[in-house]
Chains A and B, each alone.
Chain A
Amino acid sequence: MECVFGLVGNGFAIVAADTSAVHSILVHKNNEDKIMVLDSHKLIAASGEPGDRVHFTEYAQKNVSLYQFRNGIPLTTAAAANFIRRELATALRKNPYSVNILMAGYGKEAGASLYYIDYIATLHKVDKGAFGYGSYFSLSTMDRHYRSDMSVEEAIELDDKCIREIRSRLVIAPPNFVIKIVDKDGAREHAWRQSVQDVTTASV
């Protein structure tokens, strides 16, 4: 029941992902960060098989870093998205990765952009996107309220609407979410939305 969604606002892109690590009926942890910082101005929010998710996103991140070390310049958001798609497409015909990715990035020429890359290597540049069962609720909510030049505050309000919708309408809805943002100042964590926290001390 993993939920990932994101949207592009005015000079920024924002992605939110649930933070439950689940195996069968057991929740391992409630604060698993599924949004990886790819480089200074790129984020990938990934959902899917946990092993594949971590393996593939780390592989993508290391290759993006390698490019920058080798060539002294970072990849553009579009180039990085196409690279990731190419790797998924190649693996698809041998050992597919079960990972869905929303990639958010900021570049000087292109501005803020969001890329939808699913596990069978579909690539779309989008204004808003979502994966998982939660997408039934978050996409409809975003379709209703999204505008192309939203401010950060308006985008966070919309994100919160989506999270509320997911929490109230999805059976086995994930309780916690992390929200990360990327704009001209870089990629960073923006907020957490937690309704359940891990118990660290035994209650008497």
Chain B
Amino acid sequence: MSRRYDSRTTIFSPEGRLYQVEYAMEAIGNAGSAIGILSKDGVVLIGEKKVTSKLLQTSTSSEKMYKIDDHVACAVAGIMSDANILINTARVQAQRYTFMYQEPMPVEQLVQSLCDTKQGYTQFGGLRPFGVSFLFAGWDKNHGFQLYMSDPSGNYGGWKAAAVGANNQAAQSILKQDYKDDATREEAVELALKVLSKTMDSTSLTSEKLELAEVFLTPSGSVKYHVHSPDSLTKLLVKHGVTQPAA
């Protein structure tokens, strides 16, 4: 193991690896998972909350889901404080684009722009990379509904279904088996709940431990980002037979 090359974030090891980037991904692997699923009429994002307490103000604070612009939202896995910086950066980039062109920023361009920022931290400055992976869900007039996953290296890809955070590999393989191309949003919600219930470590799935959001078009044609309330979540868990009552 070439430990000599660990502390310098911006240089390669002799084997051609960037250790700091890999360690960042390790950190994310211990964080609460998030799953995103693309359907033909919307994108579903679901996240596992690690901080659960009755004392938490759920109406005002969100741990996993954030709105970047009217037409783009993201789910987060990793170090929350790092995520906040990047979310703010993404929000500024989106507004800067609209300031210039008077149009919403195409989703891929927003993701690319944020990933360029992340890449910078792997090449110069001597600062560590961000320990966050994102799932971006959005709509634009060029490509309709889109889902993107990005990691600390600054790589990103467009996905039909993707998972980040703890047990993401298990989640990804279940998604590969069960994902259907022409699923509706409701079916995507069902799939997301089922996959998360299988991969989450905890024994019972309650609305306290989850956050569920959807990005879709209203009948009038505008993009809506909707986060489910705990009651609505509980109803969905019961409806899809996914909740296990506490013993």
Instruction: Enumerate chain A interface residues (CB-CB to B < 8 A).
Output: 71, 73, 75-76, 78-79, 82-83, 86, 109
A159 to B108, CA, bound (A): 43
B142-A73 in contact (CB<8A): yes
A82-B109 in contact (CB<8A): no
B103-A76 in contact (CB<8A): yes
Instruction: Enumerate chain B interface residues (CB-CB to A < 8 A).
Output: 99-103, 106, 108-109, 141-142
A83-B100 in contact (CB<8A): yes
Q: Residue on B with the closest CB to A86?
A: B100
B99-A86 in contact (CB<8A): yes
A71-B100 in contact (CB<8A): no
A58 CB, min distance to chain B CBs, angstroms: 19
With A79-B101, A83-B101, A109-B141 given, name 18 new contacts (CB 8 A). A71-B106, A71-B108, A71-B109, A73-B106, A73-B142, A75-B101, A76-B103, A78-B102, A78-B103, A79-B102, A79-B103, A82-B100, A82-B101, A82-B102, A82-B103, A83-B100, A86-B99, A86-B100
Residues of A within 8 A of B108 (CB): 71
Q: Residue on A with the closest CB to B106?
A: A71
Residues of A within 8 A of B103 (CB): 76, 78-79, 82
A86 to B101, CA, bound (A): 8
B218 CB, min distance to chain A CBs, angstroms: 19
A112 CB, min distance to chain B CBs, angstroms: 18
Residues of A within 8 A of B106 (CB): 71, 73
A78 to B109, CA, bound (A): 18
A83 to B102, CA, bound (A): 8
B111 CB, min distance to chain A CBs, angstroms: 12
A115 to B106, CA, bound (A): 23
Residues of B within 8 A of A83 (CB): 100-101
A83 to B99, CA, bound (A): 9
A86 to B103, CA, bound (A): 13
A73 to B102, CA, bound (A): 16
Residues of B within 8 A of A76 (CB): 103
Q: List 9 A-B contacts (CB under 8 A).
A: A71-B106, A73-B106, A73-B142, A75-B101, A78-B102, A82-B100, A82-B102, A82-B103, A86-B99
Q: Residue on B with the closest CB to A73?
A: B142
A82 to B109, CA, bound (A): 18
Residues of A within 8 A of B142 (CB): 73
A90 CB, min distance to chain B CBs, angstroms: 10
Among B99, B102, B103, B142, find the residue whose CB has the most chain A CB atoms closer than 10 A: B102
A78 to B101, CA, bound (A): 8
